[in-house]
Structure 1
């Protein structure tokens, strides 16, 4: 595992990611959508293959994924992006189960 990936695994705040990867950001924006940005970055990183790459290339790719995730929420908002399950489910059509059918003969008992 590259040094960059090891370092990122130790990060505890979104701001740490921005600082380590040297990505400029608006603290007010990050305060509002930090979890969404980090979740989206994780989704993007999951599609990357870092095997055998030099650390400077790994860092450049991680920086690009953070910039891309941050940009997603500069152009849009969490309700449109829906990176979390609860937000995805909020727009899914709910199926209502039909009321149970009670035979008329059961009512006469």
Structure 2
């Protein structure tokens, strides 16, 4: 895990939402919010974790809150999103449309036919 210390690092709370919006790498979010992570988990699920964090943040109303409270909530959403994927696979949670659309436990949508790519590559008239 990154941040091996037993104490949480001190984070800069100044205008935290604006600072978070300016970040791009998943690791930057973990560092900015002082959240420990296992690089192996992040290497496998970084996009899923960040997408899930965004979903959790979208449920929050930050209007009128102090930077301290906003940072605490943002940190909690990142920790929650990370735990979702640290304990199970991205296929289980299916946060992206492409994974939701191809869920083997869900029947195909009527009127939508799946054509395997291999069948497109075959010459016309030959099987």
Q: What range describes the TM-score normalised by the shorter chain of this pair?
A: 0.7 to 0.9
Aligned positions of 1:1-109 closer than 5 A: 3-91=15-103, 92-94=106-108, 95=110
Offset, 1:77: 0.8
- Of the structure 1 ranges 69-78 and 15-24, higher mean CA displacement relative to structure 2 is found in 69-78
TM-score (norm 1): 0.84
Unaligned segments of structure 1, at least 5 residues: 98-109
Residue 115 of structure 2: aligned partner = none
Tell me which protein shows more helix as a share of its residues. Answer: 1
The structure whose RCO (Cα within 8 Å, separation 6+) is larger is 1
Aligned residues: 96
Offset, 1:41: 0.1
CA–CA distance in structure 1, aligned partners of residues 87 and 38 of structure 2: 14
CA–CA distance in structure 1, aligned partners of residues 96 and 34 of structure 2: 26
Offset, 1:27: 0.8
Larger Rg: 1
Give every structure 1 segment of 4 or more consecutive aligned residues whose post-TM-superposition deviation is greater than 4 Å. none
